[in-house]
Structure 1
Amino acid sequence: MDRRKFLKLAGVGAGGIMLPVYGVPVSAAQLAGNGMDVGQKKVLADVVLNTARKAGASYTDVRIGRYLNQYVLTREKNVENIVNTESFGAGIRVIANGTWGFAATNDLTPDGIARAARQAVAVARANAKYQSEPVQLAPVKGVGEVSWQTPIQKNAIQVPISEKVDYLMEVNNSALNAGASFVNSALYLVNEQKYFASSDGSYIDQDVHRLWAPMQVTAVDKKSGAFKTRDGLSTPVGLGYEYLDGREEDKLHGQTTLYKDSYDMVEDAQLAAEQAKAKLSAKSIEPGKYDLVLEPLHLRLTIHESVGHPLELDRVLGYEANFAGTSFATLDKWRSGKFKYGSDKVNFFADRTQPGSLGAVGYDDEGVKAKRWDLVKDGVLVNYQATRDQVHMIDQKESHGCSYADSWSSVQFQRMPNVSLAPGKEKYSVKDMIRDVEKGIYILGRGSYSIDQQRYNFQFGGQLFYEIKNGEIVGQVEDVAYQSNTQEFWNSCSAICDESDYRLGGTFFDGKGQPSQVSAVSHGCATTRFDKINVINTKRKIS
């Protein structure tokens, strides 16, 4: 199965996005079955390493991957689709003559994988004719044979399909009984079984799990024909099915307890229907300057677009200019050591070790151990996100562990880690924050957005909007979007709630690169206030 052969499904919410699903259709039973034994993977990996070395490679890594997807989509009383796919193969990357070469194969026999290794070296030699300077890899010490698994309580793919369908039907009925006219709900389950080996001496076996439970609820005014929607307020997570069933097993004491990071989709469906109906009669916002109180599931998208992407080093260097833009956060700003990305309260950090996050792994796709590092400290730009062959460009000697490929057939490259805003250090709740606002808007959930190619000028909407006057919420409003630029916006940050309000939000399908790849990433923050931001009315007037 090559990467050009894949399915696409219409998504739920977020504008009906198209979701790529790589692999061949399999049964649910096959999906839940065991893959290749780790010992067999090591034998094949050694074939690659030895073959590439003999062919002239100075460095080699191989990723043997089994990528599993299960999507369950429903609408009202019906199941729209159930998709199970499996993709299995190996990607081989080498350096020969100072230049990268890559080849991939799904022929996982010793002969097949050896042919791919020789092909990767041949590609590198051909590329070397056009290389201006040799690849410089930051050193990574081999870790030997190690393994890592997402710390899940319940493997979502192994939960019976009937149980998942029954759950989504309960979700839909909850919305319909609360007055919704239409409702879509879905489960997206991903399991990446990845084995990485390199000539540095690493043999790393990882089992990565992710889950997303989106929905969209619509309320229609039958008299006028007007309608409003409210998407679910869940977030994609690096967790198992316990995120939805709300229970975890205490193996030490033999008890079952409430899981702290659970999401009640049934309850949210009821609230979504009620709030979508309320939107129909909510007053339209008056444009002007407002203090914005932004909750985490909303602010995570603003972080993603205005902080996560512009601090990707390849974007800063112009490698993404042809497709997804560049970055305003250029090297001269970082080298000055004085560039004010935000106010003194703003501290951004990258972290691929956060439990429950989409970007959590033990090691990246170059065998670099996951870690945490600062990007913006006390408002000042201090670092970027970089891979082994990039860090020398910013005078650093250790990779940040930001390499990722969405498939065994894709070459790994720099991808965003979890990028988060640190919570405030002093005790400060959402109620405290609202009480301190005279004229403002409280915004919840992700909405539409737009940002320029340098990740500087932007506009963001949301799911729910509440007007604040003299320290109190006075009612729901509609047709809200705010406009700013990245530096002005983050320098207007005046308050951040404490750690008790800190939550992760995320995206399952963050696109980048040519050919395009998708990755999953989370962003954490607490509710945050921004002063005197320009708010516009998005309502279209018909003349």
Structure 2
Amino acid sequence: MKRRNFIYLTGVGAAAAMLPAIPVWGNEIPFEKSLEYVDPASKKIIADVALNAARSKGATYTDVRIGRYLNQYVVTREDKVENLVNTESYGVGIRVIANGSWGFAATDKMDKDSIAKAAELAVAIARENSRLLAEPVKLAPQTGYGEVSWKAPIEKNAFEIPIKEKVDLLLSVNDAAMKGGADYINSILFMVNEQKYFASSDNSYIDQDIHRIWPTFFITKINKETGKFETRNALSAPTGMGYEYLDAKPEHKIHTAAGTVYKGRYDMLEDARQGATQVADKLKAKSVEPGKYDLVLDPSHLWLTIHESCGHPTELDRVLGYEANFAGTSFLTLDKWESKKFNYGSKVVNITADKTEKGSLGAVGYDDEGVKCGKWDIIKEGILVNYQAIRDQAHIIGLDHSQGCCYADNWSSVQFQRMANISLQPGKQPLTVDDQIKNVEKGIYIVGDGSFSIDQQRYNFQFGGQLFYEIKAGKIVGMLKDVAYQSNTQEFWNSCVAVCDQRDYRLGGSFFDGKGQPSQSSAVSHGSATARFKGVNVINTARKIG
């Protein structure tokens, strides 16, 4: 099996600290090879070899995932191209149940003998695992779909766009930021195409073509007299779209008191110009006075709070203590769900899980167990009503079906329970961002995500952001800095008093949500409209304690 090569984006100067580590695995290939597509009929032949080999060795259940994972990224800094990378990872992962236990093996050797040997190895591993088994795996029933396919509804395949066009866009973004007064800027285009084929002994043969894209930048401006600097990251959201994501029209722009934000599409050039102005304003901003404030939280910020305080704690494996890596376990123990009255938030808090939302990072037709994806309630009018579960967990919470949220980040990784798109539903009454601000006597309007911390039960937390605006008597009066708010999950969501309507609903998200050991990374979106929270504790991050 090929070793994964992790390529980390790095930079120099003050902007380097703001660059994320973007893992890209596989072998470098020519750009034009990314446009090839493997015929589903040939994948079915491979899958049947594995299914038959596993069954012949005694497997009572088998699924086969044939994956071709394409990654492309373009990285620039100021007037230079820093890196151009195009990779492919192609292979097959085989998961079985034998003697009541799971076994898994994978290979990138795509001849029939190698695939049959991998299937036999998976069965042998399952038999060894069964020696330590307390009780056999219990799968929720799943009727096979036969031969079906699902394709992301993109308009422009990002891999078909010439590299020169992508480079020209990023360099023009950099130029706009530098002309606007930025001292440093890194800009990045990151594109993913997952060509996934799933087959199982339940008689499913599912071919899927998934596309994702993330245009982003990191601006830094330095005060030459003091040496202090401020940063402003892009307000883009990574998204499950094609290159059309960069075709923003006037109807995709929402003009707020903090500037322009984007719904559904993104204008990278305009955001860079705006960012250069705002990062200069941050250098002159007033440091916040600690205390209780009403918070008006933009979706470009709130997605991360939803992710950490709603997404992770409702993952059933964390609730059960089966998983604790990266994000710990969960305070949302089964007794809280069983009570049917656990007060998670206020009446306006409605949180759903959805693996089908168009444009979201997690949108697929079927999960990596061959379960057709859908949408379900997690929090309804403030009450915990459900979790996120997969086939071997469903019976624990009385479900007769999986919720379709099983995922592996590569053919060589075993699939397990991963977060669906977890979103705060918009309010039902007409309400704009301006309306929210008018209703605040003393508050802060926060745009963009920033640093955060949260405890290992997903309960006590602290969140920062990108841009902070002081609200007095219903009006924005200036920019603030050094802002972070502290709360606990239950207290915070119970302080939610209003959510803007559907017109303001937008997606944020992460390409790199880590989980598991060995660790895997998944892509997930979180939607919301701008929401208002009463009386939240705000601290000054620049002041020393004691």
Q: TM-score range by the shorter chain?
A: over 0.9
> What's 1:118 paired with?
120
Distance 1:14 1:413 in 2: 32
Tell me if structure 2 keeps the 8 A contact 1:458–1:484.
yes
1:416, distance to aligned residue in structure 2 (A): 0.1
1:8, distance to aligned residue in structure 2 (A): 3.2
1:20, distance to aligned residue in structure 2 (A): 1.4
> What's 1:223 paired with?
225
1:17, distance to aligned residue in structure 2 (A): 2.7
> What's 2:100 paired with?
98
Distance 2:308 2:109 in 1: 39
Secondary structure, counterpart of 1:473 in structure 2: strand
Distance 2:296 2:544 in 1: 28
One of 482, 501, 506 as aligned partner of 1:503: 506
1:389-538 equivalences under 5 Å are: 389-538=392-541
1:405, distance to aligned residue in structure 2 (A): 0.3
Tell me whether 1:311 sits opposite 2:310 in the alignment.
no
Tell me whether 1:356 sits opposite 2:364 in the alignment.
no
The one-letter code matched in structure 1 to 2:32 is A
> What's 1:66 paired with?
68
The one-letter code matched in structure 2 to 1:503 is R
Distance 1:409 1:322 in 2: 19
More displaced, 202-211 or 11-20? 11-20
The one-letter code matched in structure 2 to 1:188 is F
Against the structure 1 CA distance between its residues 377 and 266, is the aligned structure 2 distance closer, same or farther, given a 3 Å change threshold?
same
Distance 2:178 2:21 in 1: 26
Secondary structure, counterpart of 2:313 in structure 1: coil
One of 176, 189, 192 as aligned partner of 2:191: 189
Tell me whether 1:129 sits opposite 2:131 in the alignment.
yes
Distance 2:53 2:498 in 1: 57
1:261, distance to aligned residue in structure 2 (A): 2.3
1:40, distance to aligned residue in structure 2 (A): 0.5
Tell me if structure 1 keeps the 8 A contact 2:326–2:514.
no
Distance 1:6 1:540 in 2: 37
Distance 1:245 1:403 in 2: 32
One of 329, 343, 365 as aligned partner of 1:340: 343
> What's 1:85 paired with?
87
1:3, distance to aligned residue in structure 2 (A): 4.3
1:158, distance to aligned residue in structure 2 (A): 1.3
Secondary structure, counterpart of 2:131 in structure 1: helix
1:162-181 equivalences under 5 Å are: 162-181=164-183
Tell me if structure 2 keeps the 8 A contact 1:13–1:231.
no
Q: Deviations over 1:123-153 (max 9, x none)?
A: 0011010011000000111001111111000
1:541, distance to aligned residue in structure 2 (A): 6.0
Distance 2:428 2:2 in 1: 50
Distance 2:3 2:65 in 1: 15
1:260, distance to aligned residue in structure 2 (A): 7.3
Tell me if structure 2 keeps the 8 A contact 1:358–1:506.
yes
Tell me if structure 2 keeps the 8 A contact 1:323–1:514.
no
1:9, distance to aligned residue in structure 2 (A): 3.1
- Pairwise CA RMSD: 1.6
1:13, distance to aligned residue in structure 2 (A): 7.9
Distance 1:278 1:359 in 2: 35
Tell me if structure 2 keeps the 8 A contact 1:14–1:447.
no
1:2, distance to aligned residue in structure 2 (A): 2.6
Q: Number of residues paired by the alignment?
A: 531
The one-letter code matched in structure 2 to 1:266 is L
- Please, what TM-score do these two structures have when normalized by structure 2? 0.95
Distance 2:198 2:117 in 1: 18
1:479, distance to aligned residue in structure 2 (A): 0.6
1:14, distance to aligned residue in structure 2 (A): 8.1
> What's 1:250 paired with?
none
> What's 2:256 paired with?
none
Tell me whether 1:9 sits opposite 2:12 in the alignment.
no
Structure 1 gap ranges (5+): 248-258
1:4, distance to aligned residue in structure 2 (A): 4.2
Against the structure 1 CA distance between its residues 35 and 6, is the aligned structure 2 distance closer, same or farther, given a 3 Å change threshold?
farther
Distance 1:428 1:326 in 2: 36
Distance 2:393 2:17 in 1: 33
Against the structure 1 CA distance between its residues 339 and 542, is the aligned structure 2 distance closer, same or farther, given a 3 Å change threshold?
closer
One of 278, 291, 295 as aligned partner of 1:292: 295
1:95, distance to aligned residue in structure 2 (A): 0.3
1:275-286 equivalences under 5 Å are: 275-286=278-289
Against the structure 1 CA distance between its residues 468 and 322, is the aligned structure 2 distance closer, same or farther, given a 3 Å change threshold?
closer
1:143-158 equivalences under 5 Å are: 143-158=145-160
One of 230, 235, 238 as aligned partner of 2:237: 235
Distance 2:22 2:526 in 1: 21
Against the structure 1 CA distance between its residues 347 and 148, is the aligned structure 2 distance closer, same or farther, given a 3 Å change threshold?
same
1:502, distance to aligned residue in structure 2 (A): 0.4
Against the structure 1 CA distance between its residues 260 and 537, is the aligned structure 2 distance closer, same or farther, given a 3 Å change threshold?
closer
Secondary structure, counterpart of 1:29 in structure 2: helix
1:488, distance to aligned residue in structure 2 (A): 0.3
1:323, distance to aligned residue in structure 2 (A): 4.9
Secondary structure, counterpart of 2:191 in structure 1: strand
Q: Deviations over 1:395-414 (max 9, x none)?
A: 11110001000000000000
- Please, what TM-score do these two structures have when normalized by structure 1? 0.96
> What's 1:387 paired with?
390
Tell me if structure 1 keeps the 8 A contact 2:153–2:241.
yes
Distance 2:271 2:17 in 1: 17
Secondary structure, counterpart of 2:278 in structure 1: helix
Secondary structure, counterpart of 1:186 in structure 2: strand
Q: Deviations over 1:236-293 (max 9, x none)?
A: 000000111348xxxxxxxxxxx97220000000000000000111111110000000
One of 262, 272, 275 as aligned partner of 1:272: 275
Q: Deviations over 1:32-57 (max 9, x none)?
A: 2x132111000111111111111100
One of 212, 218, 229 as aligned partner of 2:214: 212
Distance 1:384 1:124 in 2: 28
Tell me if structure 1 keeps the 8 A contact 2:312–2:327.
no
Tell me if structure 2 keeps the 8 A contact 1:13–1:214.
no
Distance 2:275 2:21 in 1: 23
The one-letter code matched in structure 2 to 1:55 is K
The one-letter code matched in structure 2 to 1:508 is F
Against the structure 1 CA distance between its residues 321 and 262, is the aligned structure 2 distance closer, same or farther, given a 3 Å change threshold?
closer
> What's 1:256 paired with?
none
